[in-house]
Amino acid sequence: MAANRLIVHGGAGDWDGFDEAEVLKGVRAAAEAGWSVLRAGGTALDAVEKATNVLEDDPLFDAGFGSFVNEVGEVEMDALMTDGATIKFGAVAAVRRVRYPISLARLVMTRTQNCFFVADGADQLAAELGMPLVANITMVTPKEIDQFRQRQALHATRNEKGTGTVGAVALDGSGNLASATSTGGIPDKRKGRVGDSPIFGAGGYADNQFGAASATGQGENIMRFFLCQRVVEAITAGVDATAAAKSGLDYLAARIPDPEAGIIVIGADGSIGAAHTTKAMPVAWVTADGDIQVAMRPAR
Ligand code: GLY
């Protein structure tokens, strides 16, 4: 029987001006939720969904409630669930009326014959599959909408790299790996713009033969290099998840100046890794003896 493993991230960025204790409390809560699933014998898929739902609910993080608004003051969210046992995925992009985009991504994978739904069609699918639809404005925090209105009044644009996409990766007792990635995208993005997060191989990847990963950061950089697939398939004898994560980001940094990216990884061997090129990337993971550890700046 494989040992359970779990790691979550709250997004690569500078996190300037945030209360780090609160941020770390948020990622810890997500890891606790995912870990309680694994400890009870649940699957890696259940664990990453549960952990990501916690981050989607927490307004500190750029996913679900608390997502950045786009240029017209609306939330458009993207998510990807990957299953290392079947090499299947479910993805959604530019969804506007779903509280938990990662849960919709999972339903795309398990309840449809397709892989990827976007925009109104994705919201409509959610309703058909029994998910409640919410008003877009209920996904926006009062702080985010106030700041948007102030910028509009001043004709100002936002220039920040504060937070980012969230995600979770898990290995369960049956040796199955899964990843979940959920995001509101980048601040002030163009309406209809989609980043790396819902793209299989870029924003997330899982293959039981190698490992699983979830990425965060500037999607335009990550998706061009299929960061998650590149890192996961680098996990071989002698290259654990930490080494693969680091070499994947070193590769990105060698090809693109300041790629603004981060990644969390679990190897099929149970190794856990995290790396980022940004100033910070809050993570929480579970050690071999079941303790939950947190870090604002894991290995860079
Ligand atoms: N990594 C999130 C995005 O670029 O949308």
Enter the tokens of residue 86: 């079947």
Average pLDDT (250-254) is 97
260 within ligand 1 shell (Cβ under 6 A): no
Distance (angstroms) between ligand 1 centre and the Cα of 200 equals: 13
Q: Phi and psi dihedrals of 238, rounded to 5?
A: 90, -10
The model's confidence at residue 2, banded by pLDDT at 50, 70 and 90, is confident
Q: How far apart are CA 172 and CA 280, in angstroms?
A: 28
Q: Classify domain 5-295 by CATH number.
A: 3.60.20.30
Q: How far apart are CA 236 and CA 240, in angstroms?
A: 7
Sheet holding 283-286, edge to edge: 116-118, 88-95, 77-83, 177-183, 166-171, 5-9, 283-286, 292-295
Q: How far apart are CA 257 and CA 273, in angstroms?
A: 23
pLDDT at 62: 96
Q: Which atom of ligand 1 is nearest to the CA of 189?
A: 5
What is the overall mean pLDDT for the chain?
95
Distance (angstroms) between ligand 1 centre and the Cα of 287 equals: 28
The model's confidence at residue 161, banded by pLDDT at 50, 70 and 90, is low
Contacts of 180 (CB under 8 A, 6+ apart): 48, 49, 51, 52, 79, 80, 81, 82, 102, 105, 106, 167, 168, 169, 204, 214
The rounded percent of the chain whose pLDDT value lies above 90 is: 89
Q: Which atom of ligand 1 is nearest to the CA of 219?
A: 4
Q: How far apart are CA 27 and CA 160, in angstroms?
A: 21
Cα 208–chain centre separation: 19
Q: Which atom of ligand 1 is nearest to the CA of 185?
A: 5
Give 198-235 pLDDT, tens digit per residue.
999 999 999 999 999 999 999 999 999 999 999 999 99
86 is catalytic: no
Average pLDDT (130-155) is 90
Nearest CA to ligand 1 atom 4: 219
Q: Which atom of ligand 1 is nearest to the CA of 194?
A: 5
Q: Which atom of ligand 1 is nearest to the CA of 184?
A: 5
For residue 48, give the amino acid letter. Answer: V
Distance (angstroms) between ligand 1 centre and the Cα of 69 equals: 13
Residue 116 has pLDDT above 70, yes or no: yes
278 within ligand 1 shell (Cβ under 6 A): no
242 within ligand 1 shell (Cβ under 6 A): no
For residue 94, give the amino acid letter. Answer: A
Mutate to test the pocket of ligand 1, among 183, 199, 224 (most ligand atoms within 8 A of CB): 183
In terms of phi and psi (left: phi > 0; alpha: psi -120 to 50; beta: otherwise), the region of 37 is alpha
Q: How, if at all, do strands 116-118 and 88-95 pair?
A: parallel
Distance (angstroms) between ligand 1 centre and the Cα of 49 equals: 19
Residue 58 has pLDDT above 80, yes or no: yes
Annotated active-site residue in 43, 165, 181, 216: 165
Distance (angstroms) between ligand 1 centre and the Cα of 263 equals: 12
Residue 18 has pLDDT above 80, yes or no: yes
Higher-scoring residue by pLDDT: 39, 149: 39
67 within ligand 1 shell (Cβ under 6 A): no
Q: Is 145 helix (H, G, I), strand (E, B) or coil?
A: helix
Q: Is 40 exposed, middle or buried (0-12, 13-18, 19+ CB in 10 A)?
A: exposed
Distance (angstroms) between ligand 1 centre and the Cα of 181 equals: 10
Nearest to 88 by CA among 181, 196, 205: 205
pLDDT at 136: 97
Contacts of 242 (CB under 8 A, 6+ apart): 265, 271, 272, 273, 274, 275, 299
Contact 186, 219 (CB under 8 A): yes
Contacts of 67 (CB under 8 A, 6+ apart): 75, 77, 139, 140, 183, 184, 185
165 within ligand 1 shell (Cβ under 6 A): yes
pLDDT at 144: 86
The model's confidence at residue 270, banded by pLDDT at 50, 70 and 90, is very high
Mutate to test the pocket of ligand 1, among 67, 197, 223, 224 (most ligand atoms within 8 A of CB): 197
pLDDT at 251: 97
The pTM of the whole model exceeds 0.85: yes
Average pLDDT (64-70) is 94
Distance (angstroms) between ligand 1 centre and the Cα of 261 equals: 9
Residue 153 has pLDDT above 90, yes or no: no
Enter the tokens of residue 36: 């309680």
Q: How far apart are CA 140 and CA 94, in angstroms?
A: 15
- Domain coordinates of the chain in residue numbers? 5-295
